[in-house]
């Protein structure tokens, strides 16, 4: 009986040591990639977040090739979870549009909350469906980070900003009392280009013509000017819209 207890204790200690070494390896990999502390705070990686694209496992910096359609669809996930708990998974781009000039960072490429246990398909995308990673020509090598957080409870009324860019996953987790418990990341390489530019997704133009009025204290003279207002709305790949209004006037 005593021998069995000692053997069990030794096995438990061995597993604890192995787990501690695994945790340190995860944190070390995230530090080396400057994900900790620039993107995520130091956290306790209580699970190994395993991610697989096109039958290739992600291992902290694995390179995938969007132009070969490797990241077109959501990958598969595996992690330790309690079926009675709820989790959040996110994919963020901290190098948007480039690591040298990340003025759109962080872009929320995907966010799913209220995932029961490991049933990722049953989560709520919060209006942030998966946006496939796409490196733009001239933007160099980029990191994309998957983050796993444990929720305190189911959160049916959770609020998420409509805009994908300039998100902060650490602030989001903290504001909603979530505990970050896992992370993994991959890299993509952009094709060569002279400059790093976010491509447009859609452009629309509308024109409005109206007759203006010239008014004095005693006299109103109608139809003196015809005013044409042209509004051009441009939406880039991240969904950021910009409006340019051009107004011209001429006499009738």
pLDDT value, residue 159: 84
Q: How far is CA 249 from the centre of its chain?
A: 44
Tokens (6 digits) for 179: 């505990």
More confident residue, 186 or 195: 186
SS3 labels along the chain: CHHHHHHHHHHHHHHHHHHHHHHHHHHHHHHHCCCCCCCCCCCCCCCCCEEEECCEECCCCEECCHHHCCCCCCCEEECCCCCCCEEEEEEEECCCCCCCCCCCCCEEEEEEEEEECCCHHHCECCCCCCCCCCCCCCCCEEEEEEEEEECCCCCCCCCCCCCCCCCCHHHHHHHCCCEEEEEEEEEEECCCCCCCCCCEEEEEEEEEEEEEEEECCCCEEEEEEEEEEEEEEEEECCCCEEEEEEEEEEEC
Under 8 Å CB-to-CB from 247, ≥6 apart: which residues?
A: 227, 228, 229, 230
Specify the range with the lowest mean pLDDT, choosing from 29-43, 156-170, 235-249: 235-249
Q: Which CATH class is domain 2-189?
A: alpha beta
Task: Quick: pLDDT tens for 105-130.
Answer: 999 999 999 999 999 999 997 889 99
Domain positions in the chain are 2-189, 200-251
Under 8 Å CB-to-CB from 138, ≥6 apart: which residues?
A: 98, 190, 191, 192, 193, 194, 195, 196, 197
Nearest to 246 by CA among 201, 211, 205, 216: 205
Mean pLDDT for all residues in the chain: 81
| 133-136 long-range Cβ contacts below 8 angstroms, 24+ apart | 133/64, 133/66, 133/71, 133/91, 133/93, 133/109, 133/188, 134/66, 134/237, 135/66, 135/188, 135/189, 135/190, 135/191, 136/97, 136/98, 136/190, 136/193, 136/196, 136/197, 136/198, 136/199, 136/237
Tokens (6 digits) for 106: 């962080």
More confident residue, 163 or 183: 183
Residue 19 above 90 pLDDT?
A: no
pTM of the model: 0.76
Q: How far is CA 180 from the centre of its chain?
A: 15
Residue 99 above 60 pLDDT?
A: yes
């Amino acid at each position: 009986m005593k021998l069995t207890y000692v053997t069990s204790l030794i096995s438990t200690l061995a597993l604890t040591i192995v787990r501690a070494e695994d945790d340190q390896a995860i944190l070390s990999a995230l530090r080396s990639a400057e994900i900790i502390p620039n993107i995520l705070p130091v956290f306790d990686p209580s699970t190994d977040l395993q991610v697989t694209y096109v039958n290739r496992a992600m291992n902290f910096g694995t390179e995938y090739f969007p132009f070969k359609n490797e990241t077109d669809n959501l990958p598969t996930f595996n992690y330790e979870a309690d079926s009675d708990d709820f989790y959040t998974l996110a994919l963020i781009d901290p190098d948007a549009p480039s690591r040298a000039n990340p003025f759109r960072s962080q872009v929320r490429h995907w966010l799913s909350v209220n995932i029961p246990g490991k049933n990722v398909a049953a989560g709520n995308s919060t209006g942030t469906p998966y946006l496939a990673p796409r490196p733009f020509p001239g933007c160099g090598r980029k990191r994309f980070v998957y983050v796993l957080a444990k929720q305190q409870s189911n959160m049916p009324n959770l609020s998420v900003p409509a805009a994908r860019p300039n998100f902060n996953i650490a602030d989001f987790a903290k504001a909603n009392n979530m505990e970050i418990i896992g992370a993994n990341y991959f890299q993509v390489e952009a094709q060569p280009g002279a400059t790093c530019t976010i491509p447009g997704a859609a452009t629309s133009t509308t024109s409005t013509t109206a007759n203006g009025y010239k008014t004095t204290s005693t006299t109103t003279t109608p139809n003196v000017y015809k005013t044409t207002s042209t509004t051009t709305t441009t939406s880039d790949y991240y969904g950021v819209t910009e409006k340019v209004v051009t107004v011209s006037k001429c006499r009738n």
